[in-house]
């Protein structure tokens, strides 16, 4: 497994994400997120994440589960928490 690029803090999941997403997909994508694989983010968001690693800003990734349900993983700037959520939860 790849080395973590940043701390996740407390990991939380919204009720809608728990209902919609397969648990294995959430765990797999959380590992990708912490390893610096930003999933399906646009070029600008990927570049912003790289800056965020250096400067301590929020980190945002986009993934799809096995049913093609889109979800986000967001780690707060202070690295105190990471949230798995659906876009409509934001």
Domain spans of the chain, in order of start? 10-89
pLDDT per position as a tens digit, 4-32: 999 999 999 999 999 999 999 999 999 99
Q: Whole-model pTM? A: 0.95
Angstrom distance (rounded) from CA 12 to CA 15: 10
Angstrom distance (rounded) from CA 70 to CA 62: 7
């Amino acid at each position: 497994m790849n080395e973590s690029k940043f701390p996740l803090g407390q990991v939380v999941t919204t009720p809608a994400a728990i209902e919609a997403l397969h648990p294995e997909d959430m765990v797999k994508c959380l590992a990708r997120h912490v390893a610096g694989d930003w999933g399906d983010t646009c070029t600008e968001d990927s570049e912003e994440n790289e800056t965020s690693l250096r400067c301590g800003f929020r980190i945002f990734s986009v993934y799809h589960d096995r049913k093609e349900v889109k979800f986000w993983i967001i780690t707060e700037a202070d690295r105190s928490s990471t949230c798995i959520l659906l876009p409509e939860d934001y």
